[in-house]
Structure 1
Amino acid sequence: MLPDRGRNGRNSRIPAKPVSRGRALCRRVIGMNTAWDAVGDGEFFCPACGGDRNYQRLTGRRRFVLLGVPVVPRGTRGPVIQCAACQDLFDPDVLDHPTTTRLSAMLRDAVHTIVLAVLSTGGTGSRTVLETAVCALQGAGHEDCTEDRLVALVDALATDAGRATEPDCGPGLAIELHEALGPLAPHLAPAGRDALLLQGARIALADGPYTPAERDVLSTAGCALTICSEDVTRLLATARTPS
């Protein structure tokens, strides 16, 4: 904003409103003070720092202060979360966001669960499907994954959980998909949720068109990722289009 000019052409500034000396003195004499106590600590994702940091959980005791001396209790404050690095204070619900380390582990588990779910529909009989599945798992951080280990794991899970007798995506498999993908979905952008489903779709397509069982598994995975049915249909069709 341009400064005002007086009649003589010089800049004339509007004087700032003077602070009442009485009010300033009153603030020094009486006021409120909060004494914070640490009641817990841990690691969290700090929104201000943009990374994993240590934190302290604090609760406060508010007191009326006279001449710098706390004299009358005035209730409590908190709890709040204080970042050990930037010292900012946050509401406790900031701890609902996983740390970067935890989020990476959840992503690895999600890919692992989707791959096993697709293979459980009968995909272990195709070398191309297994190669695609191993590539997806190694890319997600399972560096020691091999085709033989993957086949053995799918067979063992089918025997232990009785999946061999379940038609399509049975209740047991659906529960596992929701347990692995449900907690992760709120922390992923739509593109991230789509990418997970597309990984499973490309494995299913490695040996030809979707089977009814594969479609059922992928639809259940999409639901667990909170992707609407219309978008699931679109993504499954997109995966069939050569890139």
Structure 2
Amino acid sequence: MLQTRGRKRCVWGVRTAWNTVGDGEFFCPDCGGDRNYRRRTGRRRFTVLGIPLVARGDVGPVVECAACQAHFGTEALDHPTTVRFAAMLRDAVHTVALAVLAAGGTSSRTVRVTAVRAVRAAGFDDCTEDRLTTLIDALSADAGRLPGAYEGASDPCGAALAIELHEALEPLAPHLAPAGRESILLQGARIALADGPYSPAEREVLTIVGGALLIRPEDTARLLTSARTPS
């Protein structure tokens, strides 16, 4: 170390030279919100008096928050931004509502109203009964997508409909607390129960919803039972 006007100056050390290879928006764990990021790689060099001399290996890649400059592993990009998370949650509730309506039918106005309320609460403010029934009619025209589409089918839920449930729910589930996953299932259950007990097709759809949300089968069964028990 050298002494310079009462301050210590480092004679040698290791410095990292960073290079930006990409950018975008992510959820910063330190800031607690959506921020811009830079994806960066670096190269360490041994320095003497601030002069880089010997390469000491590569660093990264890392994700650097443009706001707080904190560095994170690239797995930080797996977490959805708050905007993306809200959209995923909205789409999940909408898909579950459609699946339950497809299973139980739309003849009951109580069921339709319950579904509209759930979808609106999730963020589709302009959802109406007519819009939901129009979507169900469109699904009905697509053979194999609705429960019971084929008499005696071994997959009464409809393979395509089951796939849509998994595609909407599985990416969201790891980012939800257990109570959040259960809430989505219970919203579907309340729609199904609005006109009476579960039909076999409704129960099957809700069982698929529970599985896609990473809820254990026994917990799914418990929640579906508790949903139909008067409080």
Same fold (TM over 0.5): yes
Question: Which structure 1 residue ranges, 4+ long, deviate > 4 Å from structure 2?
Answer: none
| Structure 2, unaligned runs of 5 or more | none
| SS at structure 2 position matched to 1:209 | coil
Match of 2:58 among 76, 86, 95: 76
Indicate conservation of the 8 Å contact 1:185/1:225, yes or no. yes
* Equivalent residue letter for 1:237: T
Partner of 1:235: 223
Give me the CA root mean square deviation: 1.9
Aligned-partner Cα distance in 1 for 2:143–2:67: 46
- Tell me if the contact between 2:144 and 2:158 (Cα under 8 Å) persists in the aligned partners: no
Q: Out of 46, 65, 70, which is 2:28 matched to?
A: 46
Question: What residue in structure 1 maps to residue 105 of structure 2?
Answer: 123
- 1:174 deviates by 1.0
- SS of residue matched to 2:191: helix
Identical aligned residues as a percent? 67
Per the alignment, in what secondary structure is the counterpart of residue 157 of structure 2? coil
Deviations 1:97-152 (A, max 9, x none): 00000000000000011001001113201111001001111111111111111111
DSSP-derived class of the 1:120 partner: helix
Matched with 2:191 is 203
Q: Which has the larger radius of gyration?
A: 1
Instruction: Give, in angstroms, the shift of residue 21 of structure 1.
Output: 8.2
Q: Does 1:192 align with 2:180?
A: yes
Q: Which residues in structure 2 correspond to 1:69-108 (within 5 Å)?
A: 69-108=51-90
Normalised by the size of structure 1, how large is the TM-score?
0.87
Q: Which amino acid letter does the alignment assign opposite residue 111 of structure 1?
A: V
Corresponding residue for residue 203 of structure 2:
215
Q: Which residue of 1 aligns with 2:131?
A: 149
- Contact preservation (8 Å) 2:145, 2:159: no
Aligned partners of 2:166 and 2:93: how far apart in 1?
13
In 2, Cα distance between the equivalents of 1:68 and 1:114? 60
Aligned length: 222
| Matched residue type, 1:86 | C
Q: Retained in 2: the 8 A contact 1:123–1:204? A: no
TM-score by length of 2: 0.91
What is the rounded CA distance, in whole Å, between the counterparts of 2:177 and 2:140 in structure 1? 32
